[in-house]
Amino acid sequence: MTNPLNANWFTEVCDYGGSAFSLKLKENGHIHHEKSEFQSIDIYDTEKYGKLMVIDGFTMVTSLENFIYHEMMAHLALFSHPEPKKVVVIGGGDCGTLREVLRHDSVEKAWQIEIDERVTRLSEEHFPELCESNNDSRAELLFADGIKWIAEADTGSIDVIIVDSTDPVGPAEGLFNEAFFKQCYRVLSKQGILVQQGESPLIHMKLIKEMHDALKNAGFQQTKVAPFPQPIYPTGFWSATLVAKNLDLDTFREEAAMNKSFSTKYYNAGIHKGALATPQFILDSLD
Amino acid sequence: MTNPLNANWFTEVCDYGGSAFSLKLKENGHIHHEKSEFQSIDIYDTEKYGKLMVIDGFTMVTSLENFIYHEMMAHLALFSHPEPKKVVVIGGGDCGTLREVLRHDSVEKAWQIEIDERVTRLSEEHFPELCESNNDSRAELLFADGIKWIAEADTGSIDVIIVDSTDPVGPAEGLFNEAFFKQCYRVLSKQGILVQQGESPLIHMKLIKEMHDALKNAGFQQTKVAPFPQPIYPTGFWSATLVAKNLDLDTFREEAAMNKSFSTKYYNAGIHKGALATPQFILDSLD
């Protein structure tokens, strides 16, 4: 039996999970390839998922389904915080999370600290809808090392830190350890929130547990796993990890979420409440 | 660029979604193939997902992740109904849904109406954990046409009907139309519930909308989409459709779910509440 896939498909193999995910390309659908200072970046034109950005062989974002990830990475944290004014996105070079953050009127300043400027330039070209708030006067796009930026930031100066990174290999490795979380704890304001893309509970539970332990050691007392669908990542079953200082993440500004001034495609107040429920095996593993 | 997958992988191509999902096999991992009276059935031994059953080329069930699907197909309905006594599973030949149904002490009788006996025989051999309640005195396994069985069942005789079928092509086609739903409505008792595997909201919203319209035409006034992860199906983002007679599906026996006498791996009372929240684009599409 030969495999039905051929060169007209982009395939990401997840060795660790023993699975692979593939998207069918349009004719001549591999439309860009480059080696930036940090990583290889490819852009594909797919048959059904729109554009696809791939970094070092791993799918990052597609036109069809990025809304789920970006909305969940931004709105869970921003509707949990009583009044988020200063927000930092670490990574997030496609600018989709930044766009969602800037939908909140309370936000006075939002930094995006992406290490690789090429990711943002390619997103501006191929995912312009994600970049439509890049010129917002409250936005500051920096191309720098997020770990260093956080280490140098003023104590208690940030309300929400969103770590919108690749997996903990390569440039993103330092975003998943206790030293970084300790700096985040220091930098966050009194009721500050840290949200981190949290991998797949189905196959990465060990890593998630280690992350939660490191977050607790760094001072965050309550850790939450908020699962959501992520169709282009292994298992399609992804999560955000949320932690806060002096704030109960089991409550949120529900009224504000119900009456929000902007529209969303995935997030709503019910979804926020639902995301606070945790599948039993995750509860059992983290206990 | 050649595709990295080879004959050591099982691949399911989803033409409609322009995607494919693959699982890596153990050496000589294609361990069974047959053509039954109704369909082709294959069993694979995968590297990380345990055993895999494939029908007519479509993944059905793996050892690793079937718990999510089976628990959600059974417990949402059974904890919504005030006292489910008579339950029918249409399809469900791997017996995993039946096992979950029989965990409920209130259930006096559970029928499994699977058209293809070979599916059950192969499940007994390769997924014995799913079949561990097949000899429960309350269980009756019939190998028959579920559409015909429902058409011949007594009016008002069943509390919960669970349609645990393949996609609406081939033998399962007749399980997704108004004529079938009308028969279900007739057969259900006063507060009866019908739950149907509901496809992927991300790529099958048109089909889901048609299904909801057909259900409403058949007499069910409230329709709910309960999303859950389904890692081996296209997009990994799956759903159950729930409808009921004279019963508000936005409430359920929460106390009973919190104090249930059996353990689960995915479902719990919080997850039930969370599953009643609907992503915004689904609400918008169904309105």
Residue A172, classed as helix, strand or coil, is helix
Q: B264, A280: Cβ pair inside 8 Å?
A: yes
**B51 and B187 together in one domain:** no
**B164 among known catalytic residues:** yes
ipTM for the whole complex: 0.94
**B33 and B174 together in one domain:** no
State how far the alpha carbon of A43 is from the alpha carbons of A51, A55, A62, A94, B87, in Å.
7, 9, 10, 12, 50
- CB pairs below 8 Å between A and B: how many? 179
- pLDDT number for residue B44: 98
B97-139 tens-digit pLDDT: 999 999 999 999 999 999 999 999 999 999 999 999 999 999 9
Task: Assign B2 a pLDDT band (cuts: 50, 70, 90).
Answer: confident
**A103 and A29 together in one domain:** no
Q: How many folded domains does chain B comprise?
A: 2
**B15 and B145 together in one domain:** no
Residue B257 belongs to a domain: no
User: Chain A residues with CB inside 8 Å of B24's CB?
Assistant: 18-20
Decide which of A45, A62, A79 is a domain's last residue.
Answer: A62
Rounded Cα distance between A257 and A41, Å, is 36
User: Chain B residues with CB inside 8 Å of A9's CB?
Assistant: 3, 20
Nearest CA in chain B to A16: B48
- pLDDT number for residue A174: 80
Residue B212 belongs to a domain: yes
Q: Which tokens go with A99?
A: 């766009």
DSSP of B36-48, one letter per residue? -SS-EEEEEEESS
Q: A280, B271: Cβ pair inside 8 Å?
A: yes
Residue A219 belongs to a domain: yes
User: Chain A residues with CB inside 8 Å of B20's CB?
Assistant: 4-5, 9, 11, 20-24
- pLDDT number for residue A166: 77
B30-60 tens-digit pLDDT: 999 999 999 999 999 999 999 999 999 999 9
Mutate: best of A19, A54, A72, partner B, most B CBs <10 A = A19
Residue A269 belongs to a domain: no
Residue type, B144: A
Residue A232, classed as helix, strand or coil, is coil
Q: B22, A9: Cβ pair inside 8 Å?
A: no
**B153 and B56 together in one domain:** no
Please report how the helices A178-187 and A205-217 are oriented relative to each other, as an axis angle in degrees rounded to 10.
50
Residue A270 belongs to a domain: no
User: Chain A residues with CB inside 8 Å of B4's CB?
Assistant: 11, 13, 20
Residue type, B238: W
Residues with Cβ within 8 Å of A120's Cβ and at least 6 positions away in sequence, in order, are A93, A94, A95, A112, A114, A131, A134, A141, A143
**B213 and B84 together in one domain:** yes
Look up the domain containing A23 and give its range.
9-62
Residue B58 belongs to a domain: yes
Residue B287 belongs to a domain: no
Mutate: best of B22, B25, B59, B65, partner A, most A CBs <10 A = B22
**A91 and A126 together in one domain:** yes
Kindly state the DSSP code that residue B282 receives in the 8-state scheme: H
Q: B279, A273: Cβ pair inside 8 Å?
A: no
Q: B235, A227: Cβ pair inside 8 Å?
A: no
Measured between CA atoms, how close is B199 to chain A, in angstroms?
Answer: 14
Residue A258 belongs to a domain: no
**B193 and B105 together in one domain:** yes
Contact yes or no for B110/B98 (Cβ under 8 A): yes
Mutate: best of B235, B278, B283, partner A, most A CBs <10 A = B235
Decide which of B62, B88, B103 is a domain's last residue.
Answer: B62
User: Chain A residues with CB inside 8 Å of B236's CB?
Assistant: 229-231, 235-237
Rounded Cα distance between A104 and A89, Å, is 14
State how far the alpha carbon of A44 is from the alpha carbons of A27, A49, A50, B203, in Å.
10, 10, 8, 20
A242-261 tens-digit pLDDT: 999 999 999 999 999 999 99
Kindly state the DSSP code that residue A162 receives in the 8-state scheme: E
Measured between CA atoms, how close is A67 to chain B, in angstroms?
Answer: 10
**B108 and B25 together in one domain:** no
At B13, which CATH number?
2.30.140.10
Contact yes or no for A96/A51 (Cβ under 8 A): no
Residues in chain A predicted with pLDDT less than 50, given as ranges, are none
Rounded Cα distance between B33 and B43, Å, is 7
- Conformational region of residue A236, where left means phi above 0, alpha means psi within -120 to 50, and beta covers everything else: left
User: Chain A residues with CB inside 8 Å of B202's CB?
Assistant: 64-65, 229, 231
At B204, which CATH number?
3.40.50.150
Out of B136, B164, B284, B287, pick the active-site residue.
Answer: B164
B167-209 tens-digit pLDDT: 776 666 788 889 999 999 999 999 999 999 988 999 999 999 9
Q: A202, B231: Cβ pair inside 8 Å?
A: yes
**B108 and B215 together in one domain:** yes
Q: B19, A49: Cβ pair inside 8 Å?
A: yes
**B142 and B39 together in one domain:** no
- Number of residues that this document lists for chain A: 287
- pLDDT number for residue B3: 83
Contact yes or no for A24/A31 (Cβ under 8 A): no
Rounded Cα distance between A138 and A127, Å, is 21
Rounded Cα distance between B55 and A134, Å, is 48
**A52 and A146 together in one domain:** no
List the single residue in B266, B277, B278 with the smallest CB-CB distance to A279. Answer: B266
Please report how the helices B205-217 and B178-187 are oriented relative to each other, as an axis angle in degrees rounded to 10.
50
Residue B35, classed as helix, strand or coil, is strand
**Catalytic amino acids of A?**
164
Contact yes or no for B67/B266 (Cβ under 8 A): yes
Strands B51-55 vs B40-46: parallel, antiparallel or unpaired: antiparallel
Measured between CA atoms, how close is A212 to chain B, in angstroms?
Answer: 20
Q: A3, B1: Cβ pair inside 8 Å?
A: no
Measured between CA atoms, how close is B47 to chain A, in angstroms?
Answer: 6
Q: Is the dihedral of CA A155, A156, A162, A168 positive or negative?
A: positive
Measured between CA atoms, how close is A113 to chain B, in angstroms?
Answer: 29
Strand partners, B162: B89, B195
Angle CA A181–A165–A20, to nearest 5: 125
Decide which of B44, B62, B80 is a domain's last residue.
Answer: B62
- What mean pLDDT comes out for the span B278-285? 96
Nearest CA in chain B to A273: B274
Measured between CA atoms, how close is A125 to chain B, in angstroms?
Answer: 23
Q: A20, B9: Cβ pair inside 8 Å?
A: yes
